[in-house]
Amino acid sequence: MFPEHNNFDCLRLVLALIVVLFHLAVLSGAHELGFLASYFSGNLAVDAFFVVSGFLVYMSFERSRSLGHYFEKRIRRILPAYVTVVVICSLAFFALSTLHASEYFGLDWLRYLAANLSFLNFLHSTLPGVFEQNRLQAVNGALWTIKVEVMFYLVLPALAWASEKMPRWACFTVVYVLSIIYSLVLTSLAKVHPQYLVFERQLPGQLAFFVSGMLLYVYYERFRSLAIYVIGPAFLLVVFGRHAHWLYPLYPLALGCVVVYVATVFPYLGNWGRFGDLSYGVYIWHFPLIQALVALGAFEISPWGGFLLTLLGVLMFAWLSWHFVERPFLRRSSHYRQAELAPKVQLHQYHR
């Protein structure tokens, strides 16, 4: 049995805000905000997101009535807000473009829409004449993770099928090991050709984190009984494993242990879901907002003013996204909608 209370809603919002703080430092270029990149790791937060996804989405898959029901839930949760942020940015950022309307709304604009709406952000990440003076010209560089997430959703049924043909631990372990080998090989190649790091961030490189979440869901009772002995070494592996080449093979699983411990074993932090699920909105809206503020000179005028504008703006966009885009597409039985009404959240309701 899973615990009655859980901290997944709180954890996902915290992870989303960590990514925001990291990108604030990187994109703004403000010296005063540079320390944020030292204390908040965007890569670590994304890795943890993938673990959470493996745990919860596998739970969702097992509780789905059919394969169609499973994919319907995933589409309802991901697609409406994703399409909204892509389309709105493509239209709104004409105001920041150096081009006239006839030049802006041309072939490059259509390519941006086509690439991003098909989750291929890397093929065309910029809009015509937009953010040309920024440190990075990409409109929404955070969207690469959504493509990886969608790939996880597609791979999961195949993993579930394979795990019926052999012991689940063996199936997941094979996938985990192959993912680690892929990451280590491409990381080594990147020392000579840095472009290999782009491929390392794709599947199957990130699959070890997702599978770690799946493993911890399947063997949750065993993990919980051993958590007091596991959490210390796991935490140390997370601290040192990402940058120590010889420890990296254990890093995804160690991170999974820390994430699931915080979400399910750690003392209950309250029902953050009663405010709505803002984490997804925070994540997909923060990057273009920061880019716009950089283009408008907000961080040159006042780095801390830009910092406050970013936090207030991203929370506002996330709130609007939840109430007017995301929530209306979810079934009433969805955990995310039930959490707004219930004073306490039950883990088994997740992703219904």
Amino acid 190: pLDDT: 85
pTM over 0.85: yes
Amino acid 2: pLDDT: 61
Per-residue pLDDT of the chain (352 residues; tens, 9 = 90+): 566 568 898 999 999 999 999 999 999 999 999 999 999 999 999 999 999 999 999 999 999 999 999 999 999 999 999 999 999 999 999 999 999 999 999 999 999 999 999 999 989 999 999 999 999 999 999 999 999 999 999 999 999 999 888 888 899 999 999 999 999 999 888 888 888 888 888 888 899 999 999 999 999 999 999 999 999 999 999 998 777 778 899 999 999 999 999 999 888 887 777 777 899 999 999 999 999 999 999 999 999 999 999 999 999 999 999 999 999 998 777 766 666 665 544 444 444 4
Domain ranges, ordered by start, for the chain: 8-349
Token couple for 138? 């990409």
Peptide bond into 128 cis (omega under 30): no
